[in-house]
Structure 1
Amino acid sequence: MIALPALCAAQFMIALDYSIIYVALPTIATELSMTEASAQWIASAYAIFFAGFLLVGGRLADRFGTRRAFVLASVLFGVFSLLGGFAQNDALLLIARGGQGISAALLQPAVLGLLSATFDGIARARAVAVWGAVGASGLAVGVVLGGVLTAVDWRWTLLINVPIAAVAIVGAILGFAKTGKVQGRAPIPLLGAAAGTVALLSSVFLLTIVAEARPDPALLTTALVVALVSGTAFLIHERTGARPLIDRAIRKVRTIRLGSVATAFYMASVGAEFYLVTLLLQQVHGYAPLMAGLGFLPLAALVTIGNMVAGRLIPRFTSPRVLFAGFAISAAGLALLALTGTVSSYAAGVLPGLLLSGFGHGVVYTSMFSLGTSRIPSGLEGGAGAVLTTSQYLSSAVSVAILTIVLAAAPAELRFLSAFAVTTAFALAGMGVAIVARRDVKTEVTH
């Protein structure tokens, strides 16, 4: 069947593009004369535009058809990847990264919508497990591939998306000829989308300014005011508007709400690990980009194994139980990295934490989406998928900004201990979400 490989190719590209840039950041910053605080925008530009436009992307996918949205988004992703690959300055690169984020925002809901509409029952559970394994593996493989490609030329970290996008496009045309029906013609709430996106951008920009050694008071005040005003406008629009960005039927589904919180804690814990380990290996251990990328190989392998294990365990133990175990293992791995990550030996200091957190990462990724997509209302697959992924990548942009602040504020000898301690706390919070979700499952079974 061509359908599942096409969905996996698209998901791999979305995940890959998030993490592949991390190892290349120091090289790009040096070549384009960017500070460490401003260079984090190369990663955040993708995540924040992704998160900011996901809800609109979900609405567009539901309105015009998930197959059409899938093909168009894949084309745009390839075009912006080409633009970024040939960018000659930081401004053009950031524009390209933002364009990739917007393309991903249209593509991700279409992927989730097609996944929900194409597969059902046991076949759906298996498809989600395979798709989840590919998505989480894309995040892990991204940092490995990023190191290899940066050793050749960092521009290949963007150009690599072009052939993957081509595979996804061909697969969609051949595999989804009779799927992705239009769900309605209601206007897209652009006002709410604009307010929400501005709120997200200004909030992350505010955190970036705080991370600077000498924050500009005028910029700081402006960003704070814009964030507060736009955030308030978005909340009012969602509460009182005739056409809210998040469909009210979606808001009522508790599994989607819990899944969204779980994705946020996932991205703030093991998802943020890519950023920290990249800096740890290059700044503390002195690894070149190629060696730093290869240093992630054990993590990539354990993420894949964790996904496979979770796919087998969820039908037997339910997704909340597996999610709890995944976050617990992730917390243990991140705590170990906090304590031993700066030890001179990679094998003794970094590897044990990578193995534990990598396995937990894979388990969490599959189980959180299994939980979040378990009761999606018919016809709202794209919008519901957008809510889950918005939470994921909004958390990514905010957590990277927070970790940048922590790294800058902590004493030199405690920088990484403090930063990994923050990610550990988020993993522990994820365990709490799993406990709440488990109680809900028990209640439903009882009644």
Structure 2
Amino acid sequence: MTVSDRTAQAAPKPSSRAAAGLATLSAAQFLIALDFSVIFVALPSMGADLALSESAVQWVVSAYAVFFAGFLVLGGRAADRIGARTLFVAALLLFGVASLAGGIAQGAAVLLVARAAQGVAAATLQPSILALVNTTFEPGPARTRALAVWGTVGASGLAAGVVLGGLLTTVSWRWTFLVNLPFALVCVLAAPKVLPAPVRLARTAAPLNVVSAVLCTATVLVSTLGLTRASEAGWGDRTALACFAATAVLLAAFLLRERSSTQPLVAPVLRRTRTLLAGCGAAALYMASVAGVEFYLVTLALQDQRGFTPLQAGIAFLPLAVCITLGNTVAGRLLTPWGVRRTLSVAFLLGAAGLVLLALSVGLEGYAAAMLPGLLVSGIGHGMIYTSMFVGGTRDVPDSHQGTAGALMTTSQYAGGALGVAVLVLVLGTAPDTGSFAAGFTMAGGIALVGAVLAWTSFAGGARQSATAGTTAEVKA
């Protein structure tokens, strides 16, 4: 154990102000998770009320996803440059205005613009939250506990969204937007009182690299659009292929700009931080297996294969959500004695085991005896992965780069999910049957096994490296 590890373990418990700050940040994370899941159950009612085409209904989801993924890195860098608390408040205000616009929308155009604005707001809010958690609490047990609470509240938001979406839609789908307003308002009012003030930059500090920011955002936007289109229309779709070609050009331009710039968007210290790169890889594999792909598969299996209504499907997800919350708590307790390497490896193995159980259950009758065991096991693994990968991925990152680091991990997470779902569409085919569902769950389980191997091989000795390399790199950057 290093000196820094012993110091972190001896750190005092957080003050009441820090605890209030964590409660505010967790409430904002709950808002993001709630908004992500609450919309799905409301889509049919939304489409019928506004006479939306099938494509427009799909883009109620995609407009949010594309802009969320596209603006994450820019949002993270902005949080590091102008202050995470400042951006936190601004993002919440935009989120509230966009939610109000969506709630009163009378047509597709306003609704889709509102969803895109929510995506931009979430893209700037997410890295601000993670940066504030990591800069408020010292590395070690205090930060691990804080991230476990943050992850647990986020998981409860996903669960609440599925059930709350069904309940609110019985009144009006508009309440799935308007429900966001009180959360945003409370967090905005609390932020100046309980969150740390932004660090003032020196007058000589270089401005944000606008060219790199535009190229990075355009690269992620276009690639996400291509993956979304491929999942809808197939990999041979002309629009999807054009997006992939444009992505290659934009990515090359971004890399050239980053190499020649004196103020790159992704600082050299981040490129050299091995545990951050491992965390990004783990995030991508997590979303391509026990998160995005599993949620997508289970939703289809419940409603298309077993005939559940949307509300019944939401209730059927509750055991999974409860186990995700439990997994976050378990990870918070295991990370100190076990370390990231062992905890994250075990978490991925549990996720893989749950997915294999789900693959074996697709031909069985009933829910409790067939699907429930797999949901319980994968849910615990899911929660453990989420907390562990963020603890491991950000632990060696200097405080001044926490926003960008969190954004890189979240971007990797979303990219993995988008790619996983696009590949899954090919596996399922146009008319999914028992065999294709089993193949889909097996594919996701295999990806989770790759995540376990990555965790075991990439986080060995990372804590010792962080005590020296991280500090030296920050000075060089």
Paired residue for 2:281, among 261, 267, 270? 261
CA separation in 2, counterparts of 1:421 and 1:27? Answer: 33
Amino acid at match of 1:201: L
Change (3 A) 1:382 1:320: same
Residue 247 of structure 2: aligned partner:
227
1:296 aligns to what?
A: 317
Q: Please give the per-residue CA displacement for 1:54-88, whole angstroms capped at 9, x wherever unaligned.
A: 11112211221111111111111111122222333
Shift of 1:28: 4.3
- Choose the corresponding residue for 2:418, options 397, 408, 428: 397
Equivalences, count: 444
Does residue 326 of the first structure (1) align with residue 351 of the second (2)? no
Q: Which has the larger radius of gyration?
A: 2
Quick one: structure 1 residues 438 and 372, their matched pair in 2 at CA, closer, same or farther if it must change by over 3 Å? closer
Which moved further from structure 2: 95-104 or 311-320? 95-104
- Aligned with 1:180 (options 170, 195, 198): 198
- Report the alpha carbon displacement of residue 134 of structure 1 after superposing the two structures with TM: 1.4
Change over 3 Å in CA distance of 1:130–1:210 after alignment to 2: closer
For the pair 1:154 / 2:173, whether they are aligned, the reply is yes
Residues 1:77 and 2:95 aligned together? yes
Contact 2:67 2:116 (8 Å CA) reproduced: yes
Q: Are residues 63 and 206 of structure 1, via their aligned partners in 2, closer, same or farther at CA, if it must alter by over 3 Å?
A: closer
The offset of 1:418, in angstroms, is 2.9
Matched residue of 1:348: which SS? Answer: coil
Tell me the residue number matched to 2:125: 107
Aligned partner of 1:137 in structure 2 is 156
Q: Is the 8 A contact 1:256 1:371 kept in 2?
A: yes
- Please state whether the residue corresponding to 1:439 is helix, strand or coil: coil
Deviation at 1:333, TM superposition (A): 1.0
The verdict on how the C-alpha distance between 1:229 and 1:298 changes in structure 2, with shifts beyond 3 A counting, is same
Distance in 1 (alpha carbons) for counterparts of 2:148 and 2:233: 44
Q: Contact 2:69–2:221 (CA<8 Å) still a contact in 1?
A: no
Q: TM-score, normalised by structure 1?
A: 0.90
* Aligned: 1:64 with 2:82: yes
- Scaled by the length of structure 2, the TM-score of the pair is 0.85
Distance 1:22 1:397 in 2: 17
Q: Is the 8 A contact 2:134 2:399 kept in 1?
A: no
- Aligned partners of 2:418 and 2:113: how far apart in 1? 16
Structure 1 counterpart of 2:266, from 246, 269, 275? 246
What secondary structure does 1:347 align onto? Answer: coil
Q: 1:38 & 1:343 partners in 2: Cα distance?
A: 36
Give the alignment of 1:434-445 within 5 angstroms. Answer: 434-441=455-462
Consecutive unaligned residues in structure 2, runs of 5 or more: 1-15, 469-477
User: How many angstroms does 1:225 deviate by?
Assistant: 2.8
Does the Cα contact within 8 Å between 2:56 and 2:108 map onto a contact in 1?
no
What is the CA–CA distance in structure 2 between the aligned matches of 1:161 and 1:444, rounded to whole Å? 42
CA-CA distance at 1:293 after TM superposition: 1.0
In 1: Cα distance, 2:434 partner to 2:214 partner: 42
CA distance in 2, matches of 1:59, 1:212: 32
- In terms of mean alpha carbon deviation, does 94-103 or 292-301 score higher? 94-103
- The aligned counterpart of 2:4 is none
| Counterpart Cα distance in 2 of 1:389 and 1:280 | 27
- Displacement of 1:95 after TM fit? 2.2
Match of 2:220 among 200, 219, 224: 200
* In structure 2, distance between residues paired with 1:159 and 1:403: 33
Deviation at residue 246 of structure 1 after TM alignment: 1.0
1:128 deviation in Å? 1.8
Amino acid at match of 1:132: G
Aligned to 1:315: 336
- Measured at CA, do residues 334 and 146 of structure 1 come closer, stay the same or move farther in structure 2, by a change above 3 Å? farther
Task: Give distance in 2, aligned partners of 1:151 and 1:406.
Answer: 35
1:266-292 alpha-carbon deviations (Å, 9 max, x no partner): 111122122222222222222222111
Mapping for residues 265-280 of structure 1, pairs under 5 Å: 265-272=285-292, 273-280=294-301
- Cα distance per residue 1:83-111 (max 9 Å; x no partner): 22233344433322221111111112211
Question: CA, structure 1 residues 413+26, in 2 after alignment: closer, same or farther (shift >3 Å)?
Answer: farther
Match of 1:191 in 2: 211
Partner residue in 2 for 1:50? 68
Deviation at 1:220, TM superposition (A): 4.3
Amino acid at match of 2:385: V
Q: Percent identity?
A: 48
Counterpart code for 1:330 = G
Residues 387-434 of structure 1, C-alpha deviations (whole Å, 9 max, x = no match): 222212232333333334433456544342233233222211211111
Which residue pairs with 2:8 in the alignment? none
1:378 is the counterpart of 2:399: yes
Cα gap change, 1:8 to 1:290, in 2 (>3 Å): same
Cα deviations across residues 218-266 of structure 1 (Å, max 9, x unaligned)? Answer: 4344333322222222232233333322111111111111111111111
